[in-house]
Amino acid sequence: MRFRTSGSRARRGVTTAECGIVYSITLLLIMGTIIEGLGVFRYEQLSSLAREGARWASVRGPTYQQEKNQPAPTSQDVYNNVVAPKMVALDPTQLTCTLSMTANTATVTLTYVWVPEGLFSPITLTSTSVLPVTY
């Protein structure tokens, strides 16, 4: 009985040390998962905005311009009419929008510099959408 009592005294601080290690690792894994989820969310939002921008530009091709007597759409038009109104939780100063129109295709490329919430270095997210001109 005496041996058992002295053995439990020797292990008193071990549980605290083990919990400190396990809790730290668990917290890092949970925070990493949350930050990664935010990155995936931002990339998916960027992809959706690029698709919407290309869709908007694709119906404003040469035929539309002639019939409606309108100028060709620009990158700023795509940003003002599509990207800015639908942008949620993105910093507008970190987003660039580029439109490239040909007679057959409308290509919208969005680039966003994301600084993760966990004190990591910035990550550049880029999404490009190409659609045929339909009007």
The sheet with strand 95-101 has its strands ordered as: 95-101, 105-114, 123-132
> What local confidence, expressed as pLDDT, does residue 131 receive?
94
> What local confidence, expressed as pLDDT, does residue 99 receive?
95
Q: Give the pLDDT confidence of 85-97 residue by residue, as tens digits.
A: 999 889 999 999 9
Lowest mean pLDDT among 9-13, 21-25, 84-88, 129-133: 9-13
3-state secondary structure of 124: strand
Residue 58 has pLDDT above 90, yes or no: yes
Calculate what percentage of the chain has a pLDDT beyond 90: 64
Residue 36 has pLDDT above 80, yes or no: yes
CA-nearest of 45, 47, 72, 70 to 130 is 47
DSSP 8-state symbol, 83: I
